[in-house]
Amino acid sequence: MQLMPNFTKKALCLSLFLLAFPTFASEPEERVGLVLGGGGAKGLAHIGVLLYLEEHRIPVDFVVGTSMGAIAGGLYAQGHSAASLEELVLTVNWQNVFTDQAPRAYRSIRRKEEDRLYPTQALVGFSDGEFKFPSGLIQGQRLMPLLREFSIRGRELTHFDNLPLPFRATAVDIETGELLVIEDGDLALAMRASMAIPGIFSPVHWHNRYLVDGGMVNNLPVDLAQEMNATRIIAVDVGEDFPSFEELQGPLEVMEQAINLMIRNNSQQQVALLNENDVHIVPQLLSLDIGAADFGKAELAIRAGYEAAEQASEQLLPLQVSPEQWANYRRSLSVNAQPLIPRWFRIENSADVPDQMLWANIATESGRLLDPETLNDDVERIYGLGYFDQVDYQIMWEDDVPGIELRATPRSWGPDYLGFGLTFEENFDRQSNYRAAVSYLKTQVNDYGAELQFDLQIGNEPVIRAQYWQPLRQDASTYTNTRLKLNRVRINNTAQGQTRFLTEIDRQTLGFDIGTHWRHTADVRLSLDFSTGTYQENFSTVPEQSFQTGSLGIRVNFDSLDSVFLPTQGTLVSLQHKWFHETLGSDENFQQLSIQGLGAATSGNHTLVLGGEFATTLNGEAPIYQRHQLGGFMRLSGYERNALSGQHSVFGQAVYLHRLEASRQFGTLPVYLGIALEAGNVWQTNEDVKLSDLTYSTSVLGVVTTPVGALYLGLSQNSDSRNSAYLAIGRPF
């Protein structure tokens, strides 16, 4: 028998020793992926699921989201707690988030002046003889600042694997139908792209692609979680329930149901990929009547998500970790917001308006500590110029140096527009007043951003107007405005409560302004006006008379009101002095001074509006066609429009409005009940002016603010024994 070498003996002994013990295959490390599906407001239920996971110390290793799930998931992946997300969605004003109209306080002085003269309720693009429309009902201008505010800033966070929790969002290329998985780049914009519901939100321009809601192709991306090596998946599906046919109201809901069913089909394919260890959570939202647009039901949706997670507790609780492990996990997710000092600031302006016009509205300075509120104000002011679909910014690092890039995307449906407006006032007795207007606005006429505008108004006060607005500097801080206007007004001259005679005035005016303004709030201008016209007292029987005026004027305006229809915040102050003189071609020599003030403040459901106006004629007597007028709803209610005419006038008002709490729900129109107190009068001579002669008026009001202006219902009585019921819509306050 041949003996084995010594080495062979040792090797054999070692092999026998190892075989004597069982071997264990090392199991893969547990990796829990959280998948959050799309569903609009139904996706708020995701926050309830997150609350349950946090309350029961159940960690996840990464998050994948689509549409609303991408927003909830993207914010959670950045380290925001479920409680902070709950506070956000319960306190945010969803009505404001889903509107693109720039707050009036941020609109340019030019736009503010127009909406007092010719309230425009509808605007469409009209260029090269064709109508143009936005690519979505909502551009997302008010949504992006919200996402920016809650997005962490850091140069190392360009790839979403570097977030506190790795994250992926999905979106669809609207041109090819290709599903894109977004894993790096601008996180806030990625969340916005994933929820760009076609036709509702405009597509997002992303690396030469136009992206829409990822739910159109994959509303519950389970397969993506599997590709990210999840050993267990928690999938939250908020698109499961659908109403019966009997519950569908009208063709729009039937169409919405059909689209949702198509989306549901791709979700079911994803659900089929789940294995027995995975958790499929389906909040019961249909029974709570929560639909994709019911953001006002956030609290109910969150509760439904929590309860659905609770029902899956048998599968979820085995994932629970110890209090110490949970504390370590939460610490790993926390991100301390570091103060940021941007060292550079640049503008990417794709519109044909000068960059200097944008710079003039920026208060944020490089080299100073970043104030997000100031930066958001800058964005709002630039958007309020009226030239852009969207104005957004991004914090960026270039060569390890932080800075801000502000991007202004021009309106896809500009640069020329048609505007339409309607105001109506009915007192159910002696007079109905209406004004229907159409306006053509051509912007970006030259390199300085000049504008050409034509207006046509029909009704009780017909107007034809043309004007050419020309900035003198590229920042538009100084400007000229050349005006031509033809108009007709009728004045009811009243004394002792009775109509004494009627006057019809036809006027043609050529005017020229030179002025300066500051950040959409203050404006000072000098004006030169030349008018000719005719007037006719008791115009059906008395021959008409001609007149001519020439005047030099100065006007100072401060306007921060949030609305011309129903102001709830802000101030309007206007001071104007005009000199009429024969050397300017005027038939009479006189001066006129007018001062107007209006202020509004709101606390909770309570709004108080105070206003006053004083107008006088100096150094002469104004002819009948140039006198100050009062009368009409909220202008000394009880009297007809322009019923009082004189050399001097005084008017004051105090209005209290209470907003009904039920009208605060998302999707409902604001409704107010209130009372208005007014006092005023006109006089023909200085000697006649006596406060004891004031006429007082009291009105009970009901107001609904609609997309076409405020709808007023009022019952008025004044001290001259004139009573009226009013219906008014679209009129300035």
The string of pLDDT tens digits covering residues 301-333 is 999 999 999 999 999 999 999 999 999 999 998
Query: Over the range 144-168, which residues count as b (16 or more CB within 10 Å of their CB) and which as e?
Result: bbbbbebbbbbeebeebeebbbbbb
- What pLDDT band is residue 588 in, cutting at 50, 70 and 90? very high
- What is the model's pLDDT at position 314? 94
Q: Where in the chain is the domain with CATH 2.40.160.50?
A: 496-510+519-729
Q: What is the mean pLDDT of residues 405-412?
A: 93
Rounded to 5 degrees, what are φ and ψ at 521? Answer: -120, -50
**Residue 649 scores a pLDDT above 80:** yes
- What is the model's pLDDT at position 12? 39
- What is the model's pLDDT at position 262? 62
Q: Where in the chain is the domain with CATH 3.40.1090.10?
A: 32-100+138-333
Q: What is the mean pLDDT of residues 2-26?
A: 40
- What is the model's pLDDT at position 662? 84
**In 3-state terms, what secondary structure has residue 255?**
helix
Greater pLDDT, 234 or 24 = 234
**Residue 709 scores a pLDDT above 50:** yes
**Residue 643 scores a pLDDT above 50:** yes
**Residue 674 scores a pLDDT above 50:** yes
The one-letter amino acid code at 729 reads: I
Q: Which of 195-204, 486-495, 595-604, 715-724 has the lowest mean pLDDT?
A: 486-495
Q: How crowded is residue 121: how many other Cβ atoms within 10 Å of its Cβ?
A: 18
CB-based contacts of 614, cutoff 8 Å, min separation 6: 594, 595, 596, 649, 650, 651
- What is the model's pLDDT at position 497? 47
CATH number of 344-410: 3.10.20.310
**Residue 117 scores a pLDDT above 60:** yes
Residue in the block written with tokens 């499961």: 240
Q: Cβ distance 506 to 535 under 8 Å?
A: yes
For the chain, the first-to-last Cα distance in angstroms comes to 117
What's the residue count for the chain?
A: 733
Greater pLDDT, 209 or 26 = 209
Strands (E), 448-543: 451-459, 463-471, 478-495, 498-518, 522-537
Q: What is the pLDDT of residues 368-403, one digit of tens each?
A: 999 989 999 999 999 999 999 999 999 988 888 999
Residue 230: half-sphere exposure toward Cβ, Cα within 13 Å: 28
Q: What is the mean pLDDT of residues 612-625?
A: 94
Token digits for 670? 């604001």
CB-based contacts of 649, cutoff 8 Å, min separation 6: 613, 614, 615, 616, 628, 629, 630, 680, 681, 682, 683
Strands (E), 326-445: 344-349, 388-398, 401-410, 416-426, 432-442
- To 5 degrees, how large is the angle CA 250–CA 252–CA 258? 110
- To 5 degrees, how large is the angle CA 314–CA 58–CA 234? 65
**In 3-state terms, what secondary structure has residue 356?**
helix
Helices (H), 525-636: none
- What pLDDT band is residue 23 in, cutting at 50, 70 and 90? very low
Q: What is the mean pLDDT of residues 465-471?
A: 97
- What is the model's pLDDT at position 501? 66
High-pLDDT (> 90) share of the chain, %:
61
CATH number for 32-100+138-333 (one of 3.40.1090.10, 3.30.300.130, 3.30.70.100, 3.30.1180.20): it is: 3.40.1090.10
- What is the model's pLDDT at position 197? 87
**Residue 285 scores a pLDDT above 50:** yes
**Residue 410 scores a pLDDT above 60:** yes
Q: Cβ distance 657 to 700 under 8 Å?
A: no
**Residue 492 scores a pLDDT above 60:** yes
- What pLDDT band is residue 538 in, cutting at 50, 70 and 90? confident
Residue in the block written with tokens 């707690």: 81
Q: What is the mean pLDDT of residues 636-643?
A: 86
Token digits for 578? 């005009």
Q: What distance in Å separates the CA atoms of residue 79 and residue 58, rounded to the nearest whole number? A: 15
The topology (CATH level 3) of 496-510+519-729 is Porin (2.40.160)
Q: What is the pLDDT of residues 444-457, one digit of tens each?
A: 999 999 999 999 99
Q: Where in the chain is the domain with CATH 3.10.20.310?
A: 344-410
Token digits for 411? 């309106």
- What is the model's pLDDT at position 10? 41
- What pLDDT band is residue 61 in, cutting at 50, 70 and 90? very high
**Residue 11 scores a pLDDT above 60:** no
Pairing of strands 723-729, 606-618: unpaired
- What is the model's pLDDT at position 90? 93
Q: What distance in Å separates the CA atoms of residue 301 and residue 236, rounded to the nearest whole number? A: 13
